[in-house]
Structure 1
């Protein structure tokens, strides 16, 4: 193979966008109409440019993950409000779920040890980048000496990445739909811990894609049978005929990090 750099008759993209010379300040050059389109945020924010913004959100994360050669991920969904055992919230309901923080942290640690052995390219932990179960996942990955992904989302209330996300794998999204695509595009397994509306939304999105065969089947592991059986009556859905009996096999219950790892290893 010839490693000689290919001759480029035109400047590369970075060189091409640089302003070649200063322009005089005139009514024409100072008017927003004169701005280059890609450098005009007011223009990019227009309603008509929403398809472009969607495409940019999809492409930026995809390009950066590809550059890092990340081939597969293990996705962790779960409640942002679930506290670490040593930092109780003072709310009995949430504090009773704090052991799931511990299990999430340990699961991420165990999976990341494997990821590190494969040069941080396979089975990289991927969370929503926020607090609670998400923090536990990124924290466990960091404790194992590996990398992890955080896919944050712009919300009305203050939202910031937890401190355990690998900095150059900390992404931010405006569009929920694009964020959910990135959760699933490299997923080799999905773990779902107790959570609220967001967790349920992410879980049912994945189940629907697998049920309709828009996505290959992967292990979907629900931590905490007692929690989930109180929240969702899967058997009632099958008995009513709104899902098929075989759809009940799409989810599997686990209680511990070790059990989850074993399920992934033995999944058909």
Structure 2
């Protein structure tokens, strides 16, 4: 009698997925009051207040495991306002305001939106530049954004338009924030906890690039600077796009004058104005544009 040989590596127990598929409760125990469901398929149970530590662990693990599977080792993180428009959209809105004969305040806001739209274009070009150059690297670098509109969209769009991959780390907000359409689907994540989202921004980042933004951008940028300043995180380039914006917004000289930061803390970041200038700084920091020997090692020209 033929007996099928067993595979030495066969599972000794059913997988959680298999049990989840077969563990349909008898009709008497299908109601919402029933405790029959498997714990890991019971959403009501997982959402209990006492399960917060488990949810935090899951939110840390899911993006981590997926990025490992997708081969994501290094990222360049782009922060910036969700409200900055593409230049063509900003121009259309300005023309609509002008045609409607809106008041001076509305006209000024529309004109400012056109001025600020240059940052959308720079973020898009910078992302395209990073994605294109990274293809020649032994360890590719991927653009990572907050996954929403504005500067985040521009970052993902630049990679998408040349056939590259990029990450989007979305956050659940009271007002709807759908992921922008340019994120690589298998690298599009959603977070409940701001803290874990920011942790994932920094875990693989080799550079932080901050465009003009509001409270969210300031929160992300200052957390990164604080971690670097206190040596809780390794030093890496922090590039601030738009010297005029940042120096009008934050009086760095006053912070030094009053002893709130040390003079050398100013060296933790650098102002840049264009995608080319930002790339040149990163290339100088990491030797991105030096020839390689095919094994990821740089080859000097002398």
Give the secondary structure class of the aligned counterpart of 1:227: helix
| Alignment partner, residue 72 of structure 1 | 74
Residues 105, 139 of structure 1: 8 Å contact kept: yes
SS in 1 for 2:190: strand
What secondary structure sits across from 1:152 in the alignment? strand
CA distance in 2, matches of 1:5, 1:14: 21
Q: Distance in 2 between matches of 1:29 and 1:170?
A: 33
Q: For residues 1-268 of structure 1, what are the structure 2 equivalents within 5 Å? A: 6-19=9-22, 22-26=24-28, 28=29, 30=31, 31-88=33-90, 89-90=93-94, 91-118=110-137, 122-267=140-285
Asked whether the 8 Å contact 1:115–1:146 carries over to 2, the reply is no
Q: Secondary structure at the match of 1:171?
A: strand
Give 1:109 shift: 0.3
**Closer, same or farther: CA 33–11 of 1 in aligned 2, 3 Å:** closer
- Other structure's SS at 2:76 match: strand
How large is the Cα RMSD of the aligned pairs? 1.7
Q: Deviation above 6 Å: which 4+ runs of structure 1?
A: none
Decide whether the 8 Å contact of 1:148 with 1:165 is kept in 2: yes
Query: Residue by residue, what CA displacement relative to the aligned partner does 1:58-101 show, whole Å, maximum 9, x if unpaired?
Result: 11111111100111000000000001000015422222110011
Contact 2:20 2:38 in 1 (8 A): no
In structure 1, distance between residues paired with 2:179 and 2:8: 39
| TM-score (normalizing by structure 2) | 0.82
| Structure 1 residue 111 displacement after superposition | 0.3
Partner Cα distance (2:151, 2:174) in 1: 20
- Displacement after TM superposition at 1:5 (Å): 6.9
Cα separation, partners in 2 of 1:253 and 1:40, compared to 1, 3 Å: same
Give the secondary-structure state (helix, strand or coil) at the position aligned to 1:53. helix
For structure 1, list consecutive stretches of 5 or more residues without a partner in the other structure. none
Mapped to 2, the partners of 1:188 and 1:235 lie a distance apart of 27
Equivalent residue pairs, number: 262
- SS of the aligned residue for 1:96 comes to helix
Instruction: State the 1:115 CA deviation.
Output: 2.5
